[in-house]
Amino acid sequence: MSLQEILEFRRSVRYFDEAKELDTEKVKHCIELATLAPNSSNMQLWEFYHITDPEMMKKISHACLDQKATETAKQIVVFVTRRDLHRKRSKTFLEFEKENIARNSPPEKQEKRWKNQRAYYTYLMPFIYSRFFGLLGIFRKILSVFVSLFRPMVTSISESDMRVVVHKTCGLAAQTFMIAMAEIGYDTCPLEGFDSRRVKKLLKLPCSAEINMIIPCGIRKGTRGIRGERFRVPFEEVYRII
């Protein structure tokens, strides 16, 4: 399939064929491809829980309000945001980046590039991702709004802004996953209709983790489970060329 055909093939499927199994390794590979999604500052503050155990599937399905898509799914993937892992991810990235710069940057630029990257991941990332009951976020917001009076400045850095950042990033991974699945003829249905607290408890996630999306997977059974023709508002209504 061409990319256009894949995008047209992907539909939110709410009823999967009970007779058709999925190859776990193939689904795992699609999750791996999802990690190729662009992500904010390459921090990769995400985790993917690939649920194949029938007992756990039932429990997750119940936490997803017993939707038909999860009830009939053959496997389920839970996309999780992990703001709390920012120090660990910064450290891992810097370890990689040191060698990466040595291998790939022009020699005369290496020192400056390393200095910038080290400052970015050692000071800036912990500064914008740290949390303290919302207070650090308020401080960052005031500081950035003040600076923006004099020069362009990112001002969306409160604690709730950073929450949006990790969810945006995770949403891109979820979409990449669904496209990868569609390419091999596997169907999905992105869900936000779930009880977050229950899902977190089932997956033994820490309080700072958040569920971004839950994606039941399977193979469509004819047109059952696809709600008729696809509807999109007229393109002219949402497209502006400037």
Ligand X SMILES: Cc1cc2nc3c(=O)[nH]c(=O)nc-3n(C[C@H](O)[C@H](O)[C@H](O)COP(=O)(O)O)c2cc1C
Regarding 11 and contact with ligand X (CB under 6 A), the answer is yes
Q: Quick one: CA dihedral 94, 98, 100, 101, positive or negative?
A: positive
Binding-residue pattern over the window 56 to 75 for ligand X, x denoting contact by CB under 6 A: -----------x-x------
Regarding 9 and contact with ligand X (CB under 6 A), the answer is no
- What is the C-alpha to C-alpha distance for residues 217 and 190, in angstroms, rounded to an integer? 9
Residue at shortest CB range from ligand X: 193
Binding-residue pattern over the window 14 to 43 for ligand X, x denoting contact by CB under 6 A: x-----------------------------
- What is the C-alpha to C-alpha distance for residues 26 and 42, in angstroms, rounded to an integer? 25
Regarding 193 and contact with ligand X (CB under 6 A), the answer is yes
CB of 199 to ligand X, least distance (A): 13
Q: Which of residues 14 and 89 has its CB atom nearest to ligand X in the complex? A: 14
Regarding 94 and contact with ligand X (CB under 6 A), the answer is no
CA angle 98, 100, 102 (to 5 degrees): 70
- The only residue of 6, 17, 130, 190 in contact with ligand X, by rule CB under 6 A: 190
Look at strands 187-188 and 210-218 and give their pairing: antiparallel
- Judged by DSSP in three states, 76 sits in strand
Binding-residue pattern over the window 197 to 226 for ligand X, x denoting contact by CB under 6 A: ----------------x-------------
- What is the C-alpha to C-alpha distance for residues 188 and 63, in angstroms, rounded to an integer? 18
- What is the C-alpha to C-alpha distance for residues 195 and 70, in angstroms, rounded to an integer? 13
Regarding 191 and contact with ligand X (CB under 6 A), the answer is yes
With CB under 6 A as the contact rule, which of the stretches 6-14, 33-41, 138-146, 203-211 interacts with ligand X?
A: 6-14
- The only residue of 6, 12, 105, 172 in contact with ligand X, by rule CB under 6 A: 12
Q: Quick one: CA dihedral 47, 171, 63, 73, positive or negative?
A: negative
Which burial class, exposed, middle or buried, applies to 45 when counting CB atoms under 10 A from its CB (0-12, 13-18, 19+)? buried
Point out which residues bind ligand X (CB under 6 A).
11-12, 14, 67, 69, 189-193, 213, 230
